[in-house]
Copies of this chain bind each other. A is one copy, B any other.
Amino acid sequence: MAKEITSREQDYSQWYIDIVQKANLADHSAVRCCMVIKPNGFAIWENIQAQLDRMFKETGHVNAYFPLFIPKSFLSREAQHVEGFAKECAVITHHRLMNAPDGSGVIVDPEAKLEEELIVRPTSETIIWDTYRTWINSYRDLPLLINQWANVVRWELRTRLFLRTTEFLWQEGHTAHASKEEAERETQTILDVYAKFAEEWMAMPVIKGVKTANERFAGAVETYCIEALMQDGKALQAGTSHFLGQNFAKAFDVKFSNKNNEQEYVWATSWGVSTRLVGGLIMTHSDDDGLVLPPKIAPTQVVIVPIPKPGAEIDEAAEKLMKELKAKGVRVKYDTDDQKRPGFKFAEHELLGIPVRLGIGARDLAEGKVEVARRDTKEKSNQPLEGIANYIIDLLDEIQQHLFDRSKAYRTEHITSVDTFDDLREVLDGKGGFVSAHWDGTTETELKIKDLTKATIRCIPVDNELENGKCVLTGQPSKQRVLFAKAY
């Protein structure tokens, strides 16, 4: 099975497709550019959701649900916003089908035309801020710290499973505040939650930064992001947190009376991560044998394989071990299939990225041993059965840490400082990764560089050191370096 995966070196893009399809994570659907998330892929998303949801709640947020549909006129209320989304949206014009009078099949009923078209939400700022108008009267109603888990639709012409599809799943936070400072703080709080989640749970190192004006969310005053680096040297925007100022409050007339009983517009943030994270997870850790999953996110953390096949004695030992591991919160499975050879199973579990595999044979049992195989390093060792549960728990932590360290080392090697445009281009076309370079701060230069190199400014890191320099393209003065990269 694993043999059929194209190697990263041979064709990185095909390698990704192979992993997604052979590990049964997702598939294309009959609906153009929409994906089916298969059970193996969805289980990863469920673990991502569960942990993020905990972190949102720990920081005071609650969940709610707003309509899938947005009246066309709502999109137009915020000028930048409509500009950003109108060109890629699904438009509902009718609410009924009928049998064709000529018997040729089912057609749209022309009598059921909507007075105003509805858009399938590409993001929910407009419908939510229209709702907030009725919820917010006074400073006592603030802050509103609301999140929703939802599907959204942005029409795409090309699909890459998890990374770019017309429909995707995400969470979108929409908060309302009485002051600019509080809204800005919220934007940072969420940026930190995202970075912590990416690094501690997904073992995916990220750079926290702010987007340039050109890369800002349509309608935001400032867009913060976490940027990760994939193994092919391309960057992946893994999450964004927007400070929206009073833009949406003004567009939807959402005011509150402050403590002095004066009317003020409400301050807003919005923020989101999506099923794209699953794509990032795959591309950060996996290898030519298949998926590699960090234990904290892996749907199954440990698989026990009977060698050569199930039998009373081995079953008993496995059941006992499973019970012990489950009691300690480990997600463990026993592979009782008696039709497949161990070697075949090993390849299968490697393809699926299960962090730890335990092989239990009759001879091992007699000697009080078990074979432990790590997915990340492929190392195997014999360990005493006595105390194996604690050994495994420590090993899972070690694997989690090792995956993070390995990705971090890769990223560190792939941040290159350059001072000339030629060097910028050379690094982008060769070694890849983030390139740290001076930029004159204008959108014009940014777009020219994008045109010449296909790279964009991924972000201005939030902890950036100030440093005088000259723009690599124009030679104009610059006060700090920014990170360029080709990106997904």
Contacts and interface: CB of A to CB of B under 8 A. Distances in A.
B72 A106 contact: yes
A91 B96 CA distance: 7
Nearest to A148: B42
Contact of A120 (B38, B62, B65, B92): B92
Interface string A41-65: 0110110000000000000001111
A377 to B, nearest CB: 29
A45 B45 CA distance: 20
A127 B30 contact: yes
Interface in A82-105: 82, 86-98, 105
Contact of A67 (B35, B75, B76): B35
A31 B72 CA distance: 10
Contact of A66 (B36, B117, B120): B36
A237 B31 CA distance: 32
Given A86-B106, A155-B95, A36 B65 contact: yes
Contacts of A441: none
B167 A31 contact: no
A302 interface: no
B75 A31 contact: no
Contacts of A198: none
B86 A95 contact: no
B72 A97 contact: yes
Nearest to A146: B39
A326 to B, nearest CB: 14
A153 B120 CA distance: 12
Given A86-B96, A89-B95, 19 more contacts: A29-B66, A30-B71, A34-B69, A35-B67, A36-B66, A42-B63, A42-B64, A43-B63, A46-B63, A69-B167, A72-B108, A76-B106, A86-B97, A88-B96, A89-B97, A90-B95, A92-B92, A97-B119, A120-B120
8 contacts: A35-B67, A68-B153, A69-B90, A82-B106, A87-B96, A90-B95, A92-B93, A93-B108
